[in-house]
Amino acid sequence: MSRGRKILIGTGVALVVGVLAIRAVTAGGEDGVEVRVENVEHRDLVAKVRASGHIEPRRSVDISADISGRIVELPIEEGQNVREGDLLLVIDATQYQAAVQRAEAGLAEARAREVQARADYEQARRDADRLSQLKARTENLITDQEVERAVTQADVKEALWQASKHGVEMARAAVREAQDRLDKTVIRAPMSGRITRLSVEKGETAIVGTMNNPGSLLLTVSDLSEMEAVIEVDETDVPEVSIGDSASIEIDAFPNRRFTGRVTKIGNSSIRPVQSMTSTSSEQAIDFEVRISLDTPPEGIRPDLSATADVITATREEVLAIPIIALTLIDEDDFELMENELMAEDSARIAGRDASQIEGVYVVEDGVVHFRPVVIGITGDNYFEVLDGLQEGETIVSGSYQAIRELRDSTSVKIEENDERTSRSGN
């Protein structure tokens, strides 16, 4: 076969392949990208912030020892209900009783010194008065120096007497201090509630906390009639939460049940301060503590149970809404190059904002999609609120996710056969 004939055959094959490719592309273009669509309609939306945490009593008291000593009485058990003033435990009081006796003896000694100082002062004052009177009657028998010396001695004795009075006050304070430490050997319930934690046994030694040693936690008394869900909310969601927001709480220990509550406290600083984070944990999430008071705590609830809460931050009734999956982003530069006849004046104003990307949806008209910028409001479970950019009844692309990613302005589309154009229920 000659070289020229081979070239002719090769050229013919290439032409056939090219024609087939063109026909395939044309056929694909006629069919378009297969998408799901949905009409823009009014819906009721509820915006929520979801976070997890645990259950805590609203009021609880951690009891530690104010003095050191061996526990000699422990008449309670963990889980026991107590009333305010009930005996919880007793610490060995031997050394503290001795301290009280020592302080009382010191007080008696100080009082005796006061009596002696007062007697010395009264004697010195009488001597001074006697010399002064004698000097007044007979000036030659007593010199002025002797009178002045007697008066000065009386003043010194008076000062010693006043000092002895202060000594008595110091001794009384020492007695009160020793008695206070003795009283602290008996620990009673500061409030009515339940012993939710008992960390010691009879015979153990209670340790007082210091700067470098937190001391021993003896027990915890909690009021289980008022419980809170303590959740950790991400920094991006905290601005949406407000005091008084209603919430729905799920407790793992009570499956298939939901409890209601309201936000009572929002932390002003993060749970883990930023200063304490090392360079290796720079990507650690910043969370804030939010406390939710449960309206009706269930029977058998305990502290530290795991919980998840949905805080309702906003509600909207009968607002335009689009599926969350329908919203997409395109580069601002790409949008400026589009020749979009459907773009209204309001949409053009939206597109003119300073942003590297524009969020919007693809509106379907006569089998062709056009990108439309939108402004969204709150986020429901499945839908975004539309503030601007769309009208009720317009048809938009609502899926699939991959199809939306492949779409471009003026792309032909084909609606899925099983797609329902009517609105679907839910938020």
pLDDT band at 49; cut points 50, 70, 90: very high
Domain end (from 183, 204, 230): 183
**What pLDDT, in 10s, does the model give residues 82-103?**
999 999 999 999 999 999 999 9
pLDDT band at 141; cut points 50, 70, 90: confident
pTM of the model: 0.67
1, pLDDT greater than 90: no
The whole-number pLDDT of residue 283 equals 62
Mean of pLDDT over the chain: 83
d(CA 150, CA 115): 21
d(CA 101, CA 92): 16
Q: Provide the number of structural domains found in the chain.
A: 2
Q: How large is the greatest C-alpha to C-alpha distance in the chain, in angstroms?
A: 169
> Counting beta carbons within 10 angstroms of the beta carbon of residue 77, is it exposed (0 to 12), middle (13 to 18) or buried (19 or more)?
exposed
Mean pLDDT over 282-304 rounds to 89
3, pLDDT greater than 90: no
Instruction: From 248, 228, 255, 267, select the one nearest 308 (Cα to Cα).
Output: 248
Alpha helices by DSSP H, 259-331: none
Residue 207, domain member (yes or no): no
Domain end (from 183, 205, 238): 183
pLDDT band at 18; cut points 50, 70, 90: very low
Mean pLDDT over 312-326 rounds to 92
Give the domain range for residue 331: 31-46+317-415
**What pLDDT, in 10s, does the model give residues 241-278?**
999 999 999 999 999 999 999 999 999 999 876 665 55
Q: Are residues 160 and 100 in the same domain?
A: yes
Contacts (Cβ under 8 Å, ≥6 apart) of 186: 87, 90, 91, 93
Domain end (from 155, 183, 211): 183
Q: Are residues 38 and 123 in the same domain?
A: no
37, pLDDT greater than 50: yes
The whole-number pLDDT of residue 287 equals 93
CATH code, domain with 372? 2.40.420.20
Residue 203, domain member (yes or no): no
